[in-house]
Amino acid sequence: MIQAYQHIDILPLTVQQRYEIYSKMTVKQRDLLDDYRKYLLRSEFLQNSYLQASDWRFDDLKIDYHYPKETQNQLFCQCGRRLKFQYIIVSKVTGESLALGRQHFKDHLNIPAQVATEINRQINHVDLGIDELFTYIKAGIPFPNDIWQQYQYLLFQNHMQQTPLEVDLAFIKKVAAFSEADMPLYFTDMTSLNKKLNVLSDYLKGKKEVTDESAFDLFKEHFHQEIEREILFQQTAIWSEQIKQQMKKQGKPVKISDSYFLELYQLIQDNEKNASKLKTALNKFSHRGMGRWIQKEVYQHLYEQIIIYGLSEELFTQIHPFFREGLQIYVTYDKRGVEVEKTISKIESLLEELDTTEVSAVLDYFQMKKPIE
Are 102 and 87 a contacting pair, CB within 8 Å? yes
Signed CA dihedral, 274, 276, 281, 286: sign only:
positive
How far is residue 41's CA from residue 35's CA, in Å, rounded to a whole number?
A: 10
**Cα→Cα distances 331→14, 54, 278, 310, 334, Å:** 63, 60, 17, 11, 5
Are 257 and 251 a contacting pair, CB within 8 Å? no
Are 32 and 178 a contacting pair, CB within 8 Å? yes
Q: What is the CA radius of gyration of the chain?
A: 30
Partners of 76 in the β-ladder: 82
Look at the chain and count its residues.
Answer: 373
How far is residue 241's CA from residue 251's CA, in Å, rounded to a whole number?
A: 15
Q: Quick one: residue 95, left, alpha or beta (phi over 0 = left, psi -120 to 50 = alpha)?
A: left
User: What one-character-per-residue DSSP string does 220-243 give?
Assistant: HHTHHHHHHH-TTT-TTTTB-HHH
CB atoms within 10 A of CB 75: 17
Are 75 and 83 a contacting pair, CB within 8 Å? yes
How far is residue 13's CA from residue 26's CA, in Å, rounded to a whole number?
A: 20
Question: pLDDT value at position 373?
Answer: 45
Cis-peptide into 12, omega within 30 deg: no
Question: pLDDT value at position 71?
Answer: 83
Question: pLDDT value at position 48?
Answer: 62
Question: pLDDT value at position 287?
Answer: 94
Question: pLDDT value at position 342?
Answer: 61
Question: pLDDT value at position 364?
Answer: 74
Residues of the chain with pLDDT under 50: 372-373
Are 77 and 100 a contacting pair, CB within 8 Å? yes
How far is residue 48's CA from residue 188's CA, in Å, rounded to a whole number?
A: 23
Provide the residue type at 99 as one letter: A
CB atoms within 10 A of CB 45: 21
Indicate the SS3 state at residue 91: strand
Predicted TM-score (pTM) of the model is 0.73
Question: pLDDT value at position 369?
Answer: 60
Backbone angles phi, psi at 166, to 5 degrees: -65, 140
Question: pLDDT value at position 30?
Answer: 92
